[in-house]
Structure 1
Amino acid sequence: MAARGVSHQRAECPVARTVDVIGDRWSLLIVRDAFDGIRRFSELQRNLGLAKNILAARLRTLVAQGILDVVPAADGSAYHEYVLTAKGRELFGVIVALRKWGETHLFEEDEPHSALLDTEHELPVTLQVTNAKGRPISAADAFVRKVSTSST
């Protein structure tokens, strides 16, 4: 799915490989809608305002990557539906992170926007990055260990 034929599927960086799979806005919005319970092609198209050919291409990629499954319609009709797989549900943190960044940086303080709430208490969902011991950390507290490229 990489733009202009550039692929990162063999990159040593997990971010680069991930962007190849879900890095375009339409794929991320499809995943967002799947978390919101939108399952049918026509509903996705209506909600996203996306051309049929682009939506079909993104759905094919998400299915091929194991992020979505195609299943018979829950109502028993001849249609089929797209549902998140376990792999797809693991993208929840990515969607929450994008949402939280947008809430912080793209809305005025008093500007209304949708809210993500937990189902038990209807409290806002938060996201925190921690180390393996559970201590909250920021970018200043982390580094990337690159794969060695030196020949020995």
Structure 2
Amino acid sequence: MSVAFRRDGDEEHLEPRFEIPIPPGPNRVTARGLAQIRARVAGLERAIGAAAGDEAALTALRRDLRYWQTREITAELVPAPAGDVVAFGTTVRFRLNGQDRTITLVGDDEADPAAGLVAFSAPLARALGDAEVGDVLPFGGRDEAIEVIAITVPDEDGAA
């Protein structure tokens, strides 16, 4: 019989399950971000205990747990910034193309642009890095696109 017609099992035809990609670079986190990672690990550990017997669910949960455990182990807690310049963990109010915006610079896993939490590795965050109040910065190919209005340091809960 030809090898083309032989099949050892259905497993070889299933879609491969890949690991969740780890963002490149350092895993900088705020105190709030580290607490979120630890809560995610604890929640996944509980979910794995509750999913006994459902092999598909266990596989997905274990995959997520490996990702979050790796993020917890590699987390670099960044000390609270002074607030005199834009840095990791600061909240920045600025004017971009005539519109006032406020963002907080956080780690990759804590980022939620819709909530104003922008990863420190994002282009906007890099453009704002080390700026002081009153600085006018280039962004998106335009000179003087960003004007820094205020810099604050949020408390441990993330409130500015």
Structure-2-length-normalised TM-score: 0.27
The structure whose residues are more often helix, as a share, is 1
Structure-1-length-normalised TM-score: 0.28
Q: Which has the larger radius of gyration?
A: 2
Instruction: Flag the structure with more relative contact order, 1 or 2, with Cα contacts below 8 A and sequence separation at least 6.
Output: 2
